[in-house]
Amino acid sequence: MKEVTYRLLVTGLVQGVGFRPFIYRLARVHELQGWVENRNNGVVVKVTGAGKRIQKFHDDLVSRAPDASSIEAIEFERADHEPFSSFEIRESADIAMGVTEISPDIAVCPDCLADMKAQVHRINYPLINCTHCGPRFTIIRDLPYDRPHTTMAPFRMCPDCRSEFENIMDRRFHAQPVACNRCGPVYRMQSGEGITENLHEILVRIKDSIAEGALLAVKGTGGFHLVSDAFSREGVKKLRRMKQRDGKPFALMFRNVEEARLYVEISPVEEDLLSSWRRPIVLLSKKQEITEGISDGLSTLGIMLPYMPFHHLMFEHLDTPALVMTSGNFSNEPILISNGEVTDQFSGHVDGIITYNREIFNRVDDSVAAVIRQTPVVFRRARGYAPAPIRTGLNLEGILGTGAELTGSFCMGKGQHAIMSQYAGDLKNLETFDFYREIYERFCRMFRFTPELVVSDLHPDYLSTRFALQLVEEHSGIEHLSVQHHHAHIASGMLNSGLEGEVIGFCFDGAGLGTDGSLWGAEVMKAGYLDFERLFHFENISLPGGDKATDEPWRMAVSYLYRSFGDGLWDLKIPLIETFSGKEISNIMSLIDKKINSPLASSAGRLFDAVAAITGLNYKSTYQAEAPMLLESAIDRSEQGCYAFELVDRQISFLHMIRQIVDDIHSGISTGRIAAKFHHTLVELILRLATEIRSQYGLDRVVLGGGTFQNRYLTKKVLDKLESERFEVYLPDRIPVNDQGIAPGQLAIGAHRRGSW
Ligand code: ZN
Ligand code: ZN
Ligand code: FE
């Protein structure tokens, strides 16, 4: 049989996911000789053997690749014949330029959970992992992904681990974080009873303190969690007190899907998402309340399943089926990762601190996702997603999008890959902005990135914009481009779905700076990557108090009511007029009259705020988008009606709707029915405008962008309605529809503008 040699270059998510050992075993099965090697631009394989066998090897490589890997392309070409005596895994070669990918962190696999009860040296080992699972991004300091480049570097493998690491037929062959009870990192607990490193004692102490309503800080994969029994009023209360400025709903970790099903609806697609290796927090519809203070007033609960071996060990001991697991931080600060920080900041607030002595290098929050119709959609890209790239067909090399502000995140282009940073949080917070800059520097190093073109938001005061300008100032030869916020949202949706040409864009959002200097936030546009045209927008309305109007929905309500009723506002019999004093209300009216700190805006978010406050659901927000979330949660699904809207010279006016809502309140229509009719009004509006634009421009692809489309009720109705009218509708799913998606949108626009220079 004639022997031939082939060279393969496999690109995609193929490092840190057991790919080289997989190749090795495959080569052995097909009796091929040669080698495999990690390069910065992918995995290179050279094989010598019978042609037929090499073909079979190639086919298996595609069809049997490990779960968490994702092959983007395989270059497969004949090479000069080279005889090899064996197949081997070669040491990584550092190729400074060119890049391959760093795997996101992977939830512990079923085989490891079984090993945890069977392998002598790993009985209950709380950091067990293998080539198919375990920490990745969070422990990687640099590429290539080898143990010395991770925070496992200080741990010396014991002879057993070493032999598994070196045994090609073992599942832990070349598993970089391999460890066991004898040689690996250990857990440690500090509480009123002192410090212990005895795992059994830790688990018993956790069980006891959780049962007593204690609050614990527990080190996770990408940072610390604050943990309490989800069924303990005491525990939840303590947690609320600690996060006093922040009323955000808490995420829960359930022991398993069956227990969770008692409290939330879980469809098959949602179950797959919950139990996927990414293990995000999944937003699910509530069946019944658990404990006051977890997600008051909301119809959804954010739930995740155990993803670390230690989580499984905890649930083996705990009586409760669910824990509150919220980011270990004070509100709006980055999630804490170091034992020192946690001890400094949390001692006195928590009843115990549980940690382990493997360092978290890259800080990553839990990701948040939901299923809309049958599609998983990610709202916060962090653990399990970051830093996996979005593959595009564009030349993105050297382009940096610095993103927006409230949902800080940047995106860098390497070749055709858009690499999004993990979610960083609100950049206006100093610690968060430091974190953003820190990850920017780390990403530059890890991905060998040098900026050539920096794209920022149009808003000069965003810290992300200032960061962009600073980069341009510090390094000569960097080009700078400003992109309008809502254009970036639509471009982001186009990039997500690989669209070219022109689309109809509906961008419903909080607020972003428009090209005319006013605040925008509800834009209907005709858009391509290069340019856009704003065709319709919500009528401009005063934001009395500026930023304060965003935090206090009742101000928006007064603004809309004043506009609709003038001084007739005083005669309205609605709870808002009775709740606030005449003085408070007339103060707002005079801010508007005198145009003092009352910028005009066309914001969808603020319209939701106004309606939520007029119906008495929410007057002051304690977290972002609280009012819109309460309004969505209030919907009475039996109501089918809707309100009126008017088009006045390309502006969409809701003044008539506001009057109808007040009429409904006066005639005793329930808040749930009003909320439903309000949502339906927006659906009808979108259909009407899409139809009008289609007839005028012949476009029938619709892209949705902006945080408003995280509203599952609205988005599902819009998708159903537009599709039934034969529109193609695109909701971004891999890129968040909210402001975390701004940076990739900036990148895509930058790539096209650069291409046309
Ligand atoms: Zn495993
Ligand atoms: Zn060991
Ligand atoms: Fe936005």
What percent of the chain clears pLDDT 70, i.e. is strictly above it? 98
Which residues does 537 contact at the CB level (< 8 Å), separation at least 6?
Answer: 520, 522, 523, 524, 602, 650, 651, 652
Classify domain 3-89 by CATH number: 3.30.70.100
Which residues does 500 contact at the CB level (< 8 Å), separation at least 6?
Answer: 494, 528, 529
| Radius of gyration (C-alpha) of the chain in whole angstroms | 27
Q: How far is the CA of 621 from the centre of ligand 3 (A)?
A: 18
Which pLDDT band, with edges at 50, 70 and 90, does 13 fall under? Answer: confident
Does the pLDDT at position 353 exceed 90? Answer: yes
Kindly identify the ligand whose nearest atom is closest to the C-alpha of 185.
2
Question: Which residue in 30, 40, 26 sits closest to 168, CA to CA?
Answer: 26
Same fold, 102-185 and 541-676: no
CA atoms of 357 and 181, how far apart (whole Å): 13
431-479 pLDDT, tens per residue?
999 999 999 999 999 998 999 999 999 999 999 999 999 999 999 899 9
* CB-proximal residues (5 Å) to ion ligand 1: 109, 112, 130, 132-133
Q: How far is the CA of 10 from the centre of ligand 1 (A)?
A: 23
Structure tokens at 175: 């598993």
Q: What is the mean pLDDT of the chain?
A: 94
- Both ends of the chain: CA-CA distance in Å? 56
3-state secondary structure of 132: coil
CA distances from 418 to 159, 308, 547, 735, 741 (A): 41, 28, 32, 10, 11
Listing DSSP states for 496-534 in one string gives HTT--S-EEEEEEEEEEE-TTSSEEEEEEEEE-SS-EEE
What percent of the chain clears pLDDT 90, i.e. is strictly above it? 85
Q: How far is the CA of 155 from the centre of ligand 2 (A)?
A: 9
> What's the whole-model pTM score?
0.94
Question: pLDDT at position 98, please?
Answer: 44
Question: pLDDT at position 245, please?
Answer: 63
Kindly identify the ligand whose nearest atom is closest to the C-alpha of 122.
2
Q: How far is the CA of 149 from the centre of ligand 2 (A)?
A: 19
Structure tokens at 208: 């006891």
CATH class of 187-356: alpha beta
Which residues does 258 contact at the CB level (< 8 Å), separation at least 6?
Answer: none
DSSP secondary structure code for residue 421 in this structure: P
User: CA-CA-CA-CA torsion for 32, 34, 39, 44, nearest 10 degrees?
Assistant: -50
E strands within 394-440? 399-401, 411-414, 417-420
Q: Give the mean model confidence (pLDDT) for residues 303-325.
A: 98
Classify domain 102-185 by CATH number: 3.90.870.30
Q: How far is the CA of 174 from the centre of ligand 2 (A)?
A: 13
Kindly identify the ligand whose nearest atom is closest to the C-alpha of 277.
1
Identify which has the larger pLDDT, 167 or 639: 639
Angle at the Cα of 543 from the Cα atoms of 537 and 544, rounded to 5 degrees: 160
Structure tokens at 572: 């309205």
701-712 pLDDT, tens per residue?
999 999 999 999
Q: How far is the CA of 176 from the centre of ligand 2 (A)?
A: 12
Kindly identify the ligand whose nearest atom is closest to the C-alpha of 486.
3
Q: How far is the CA of 165 from the centre of ligand 2 (A)?
A: 10
Q: Give the mean model confidence (pLDDT) for residues 178-201.
A: 97
Kindly identify the ligand whose nearest atom is closest to the C-alpha of 17.
1
Q: How far is the CA of 171 from the centre of ligand 2 (A)?
A: 14
CA atoms of 326 and 313, how far apart (whole Å): 19
Kindly identify the ligand whose nearest atom is closest to the C-alpha of 66.
1
User: CA-CA-CA-CA torsion for 547, 553, 554, 559, nearest 10 degrees?
Assistant: 70
Q: How far is the CA of 329 from the centre of ligand 1 (A)?
A: 29
Q: How far is the CA of 166 from the centre of ligand 2 (A)?
A: 13
CA atoms of 182 and 189, how far apart (whole Å): 19
510-547 pLDDT, tens per residue?
999 999 999 999 999 999 999 999 999 999 999 999 99
Classify domain 389-482 by CATH number: 3.30.420.360
Domain boundaries, the chain: 3-89, 102-185, 187-356, 389-482, 541-676
227-282 pLDDT, tens per residue?
999 999 999 999 999 887 678 999 999 999 999 999 999 999 999 999 999 999 99
Kindly identify the ligand whose nearest atom is closest to the C-alpha of 492.
3
Q: How far is the CA of 179 from the centre of ligand 2 (A)?
A: 5
CATH class of 541-676: mainly alpha
Q: How far is the CA of 407 from the centre of ligand 3 (A)?
A: 9
65-111 pLDDT, tens per residue?
887 888 889 999 999 999 999 999 887 665 543 455 688 999 999 99
Which residues does 507 contact at the CB level (< 8 Å), separation at least 6?
Answer: 486, 489, 490, 522, 523, 524, 525, 704, 705, 706
Which residues does 521 contact at the CB level (< 8 Å), separation at least 6?
Answer: 486, 508, 509, 510, 511, 512, 538, 601, 602, 603, 604, 605, 606, 706
Kindly identify the ligand whose nearest atom is closest to the C-alpha of 484.
3
Q: How far is the CA of 286 from the centre of ligand 3 (A)?
A: 28
